[in-house]
Chains A and B, each alone.
Chain A
Amino acid sequence: MSGFAIKLRFLRLLALAAFALLLTPAHGQLTVEITGAGANRIPVAIAEFGGDAASSRIVTSVIRADLERSGLFRMVDSSGVALTEATSPAFGDWKSRGADALAAGSIGASDNGRQEARFRLYDVNKQAALGGSAFVTSKTMLRAAGHRIADIIYEKLTGEPGVFSTRVAYVVRAGAARYELHIADADGQNAQVALISREPIISPSWSPDGGRLAYVSFENKKPVVYVHSLASGKRVVVANFKGSNSAPAWSPDSRRLAVVLSKDGGSQIFLVNADGSGAQRLTTDTAINTEPNFSPDGQHLYFTSDRGGSPQIYRMNIGGGDVQRVSFEGTYNVSPRISPDGKSMAFISRRDGGFRLSVMDLASRQVQVLTDSNKDESPTFSPNGRMVLIATEMGGRGVLSAVSLDGRIKQRLSIPAGDVREPAWGPFNR
């Protein structure tokens, strides 16, 4: 595990949490705590934007919090300076404050009571504009505008797309007989409840188009796989065969799901159409076969099986053939998830009695254990592949933790007094 050169804690989040009071629905929000950061963070200044001061504060605080939370940027003090995208910055001043990059902008009135958020990003050393954009927004959408601006700044400065506008799904156990499926922004704010049940909900999985979640619900006293359209709340039973139905995973084209059914005895992997029709069995042995996960090209399924005597990760083609063992170190390797670029696999490995997030480079088969915790579960990649979100346990209750692929950056997301588990990071917001 990498040591943390820098430990950060941002009291600014307190202010954000207080602010969230104004917007929060009547249930818990995730709070974010950063416990590690990259060694070489880019110093960035986000000036106060021009125009309506209250709106500007919302947008710039979201941008700053997003960039800080990523662990890749260090915020340079910009206090007392309001700067619009139309004014040429005093580059010398910003250089002496230590900024390599600077963002300026404005929030102005637009038609029909809407607002327009404009911004421009500068390279302070080259004294040149790196890009800019304008969004039509509204008072209630200012946070979303901030996330989109942060995504553009992130991409301009790192070369990778940002994930601040994406959403995460997770399950909250809110009482002995109360389970809630939440959908929140990637910063834990704006949580909405998609499902309330007296029985457990596990294994949420986003459709690649971002509109639906597949999951396993125990509301009928047995595991049944549903596909839930988030905007309408409409639910379709995808697999309710005799026995257990579980572990849904979407194919990259959103047309099919891999599921695990026990209808023929044991736990076997099947492919079904997204409407539940056309179940086709892929595994045929008598061992446990579960936790299927598609490769991004849709040609392979990674899965967990105990066919070799202990749970290990295997790979097969989507016809069920050409089975290869993928994990070899240790006696318990489960929950494979393939990175969006297809090059890495996040999984959970039992090491020294603890269940720990690990990453394998699929070309070299090199494994790196990324945490030293005891109860990591359910890894899920950010859509840009830079972070892995897991469920883990702190102080006897479930929290989510986002860990960078090199293990250096860690963020903890928790709900006060709530037990959070089963994260699923949604796709890019298109």
Chain B
Amino acid sequence: MKRLVIPAALALLIAACSSTPEGGDQSGAPVESRAGGPSVATVTTGGVDGGRLPAVLTDPKSILSKRSVYFDYDSYEVKAEYKDLVTAHAKFLTENRQFRMLIQGNTDERGSREYNLALGQKRADAIKKMMALLGAREDQLEAVSLGEEKPKNEGQGEAAWAENRRGDMLYSGEF
């Protein structure tokens, strides 16, 4: 089946649009209605700034610089090979009660976005539960899901999908 050819000028216009400036404003100016119907105002979301973390969390030689737990297909079990990693982070949180951690669960791209969001939540919850058993306090931990929305590897196939079946551990200032 043949595709419609889009006039080159239209394509150029579309390319030009990506330079719209972004800001932290939550309520943009109303946009003029072009061909009838109610007008729609454009809003640009703000960003979140990163902060400074102690070297022990970022030094590549420290186990605490590692932040990802990978899961098998359709599984929410934290595999044995990640127990030392989760234990080290739980110990850090136990010894540094001022720190908070956001655990983000992720899935591969197959299937419904909302169902995948729920699957990612199960992975994040599994890591959080283990952290709590190892001494981190409930108020230091938040488990959330990004579902399939933020793939680490945007490729297709099992190798890419395996990278995306993941839980990431972020500290205050990193989210």
- How many A-B residue pairs lie within 8 Å, measured between CB atoms? 232
A335 CA / B113 CA spacing, docked (Å) = 9
| Interface pair B114/A416, CB less than 8 Å apart | no
Interface string of B68-94 (1 = CB under 8 A from A): 000000000000000000000000000
| Interface pair A140/B149, CB less than 8 Å apart | no
| Interface pair A194/B42, CB less than 8 Å apart | yes
| Interface pair A290/B114, CB less than 8 Å apart | yes
Q: In the complex, how many angstroms separate the beta carbon of A15 from the nearest chain B beta carbon? A: 10
Chain B interface: which size bin? Answer: 35 or more
- Max chain A CB contacts within 10 Å: which of B35, B40, B48? B40
Q: In the complex, how many angstroms separate the beta carbon of B115 from the nearest chain A beta carbon? A: 5
Contacts of B7 in A (CB 8 A): 14, 17-18, 21
| Interface pair B144/A140, CB less than 8 Å apart | no
| Interface pair A13/B27, CB less than 8 Å apart | no
In the complex, residue of chain A having the shortest beta-carbon distance to the beta carbon of B144: A222
| Interface pair A27/B121, CB less than 8 Å apart | no
Q: Is B63's beta carbon under 8 Å from chain A?
A: no
Q: In the complex, how many angstroms separate the beta carbon of B17 from the nearest chain A beta carbon? A: 4
Q: In the complex, how many angstroms separate the beta carbon of B46 from the nearest chain A beta carbon? A: 7
A194 CA / B45 CA spacing, docked (Å) = 11
Contacts of A18 in B (CB 8 A): 7, 10
Q: Is B1's beta carbon under 8 Å from chain A?
A: yes
| Interface pair A231/B41, CB less than 8 Å apart | yes
Taking CB atoms and an 8 Å cut-off, the chain A residues in 9-36 that contact chain B are 9, 13-14, 17-18, 20-21, 23-29, 31, 33, 35
Contacts of A211 in B (CB 8 A): 38
| Interface pair A230/B38, CB less than 8 Å apart | yes
- Stretch from B18-26, B53-61, B158-166 forming part of the interface with A: B18-26
| Interface pair B13/A24, CB less than 8 Å apart | yes
| Interface pair A193/B114, CB less than 8 Å apart | no
| Interface pair A378/B113, CB less than 8 Å apart | yes
| Interface pair A231/B40, CB less than 8 Å apart | yes
| Interface pair A290/B6, CB less than 8 Å apart | no
Q: Is A143's beta carbon under 8 Å from chain B?
A: yes
Contacts of B142 in A (CB 8 A): 222, 242-243
| Interface pair A217/B45, CB less than 8 Å apart | yes
Contacts of B121 in A (CB 8 A): 243-244, 262, 266-267
Taking CB atoms and an 8 Å cut-off, the chain B residues in 1-21 that contact chain A are 1-7, 9-11, 13-18, 20
Contacts of A334 in B (CB 8 A): 111-112, 114-115
A-B contact pairs, 22 of them (CB 8 A): A17-B7, A17-B10, A25-B34, A33-B3, A144-B37, A145-B36, A174-B17, A175-B18, A217-B45, A220-B48, A222-B144, A230-B40, A244-B121, A260-B114, A260-B117, A262-B144, A290-B118, A304-B115, A332-B111, A335-B112, A377-B113, A429-B37
Contacts of B22 in A (CB 8 A): 196, 198
With A14-B4, A304-B112 already in contact, the answer to whether A228 and B43 are too (CB < 8 A) is yes
Chain B interface residues toward A at CB < 8 A: 1-7, 9-11, 13-18, 20, 22, 26-28, 30-31, 33-48, 102, 104, 110-115, 117-119, 121-122, 125, 142-147, 149-150, 170, 175
| Interface pair A418/B42, CB less than 8 Å apart | no
- Other-chain contact of B41, A145, A165, A232, A332 (Cβ < 8 Å): A232
| Interface pair A140/B35, CB less than 8 Å apart | yes
A84 CA / B40 CA spacing, docked (Å) = 35
Interface string of A390-413 (1 = CB under 8 A from B): 000000000000000000000000
Q: Is A223's beta carbon under 8 Å from chain B?
A: yes
Q: In the complex, how many angstroms separate the beta carbon of A420 from the nearest chain B beta carbon? A: 13
- Other-chain contact of B118, A267, A332, A355 (Cβ < 8 Å): A267
| Interface pair A244/B145, CB less than 8 Å apart | yes
In the complex, residue of chain A having the shortest beta-carbon distance to the beta carbon of B23: A196
7 A-B pairs closest in CB distance: A144-B36, A233-B41, A222-B144, A192-B40, A267-B118, A200-B149, A141-B36
| Interface pair B10/A288, CB less than 8 Å apart | no
Q: In the complex, how many angstroms separate the beta carbon of B149 from the nearest chain A beta carbon? A: 4
Q: A17-B10, A190-B37 are in contact. List 7 more A-B contacts (CB 8 A).
A: A137-B36, A192-B33, A217-B45, A232-B27, A235-B26, A288-B115, A377-B112
In the complex, residue of chain B having the shortest beta-carbon distance to the beta carbon of A33: B4
| Interface pair A231/B30, CB less than 8 Å apart | yes
Q: Is A219's beta carbon under 8 Å from chain B?
A: yes
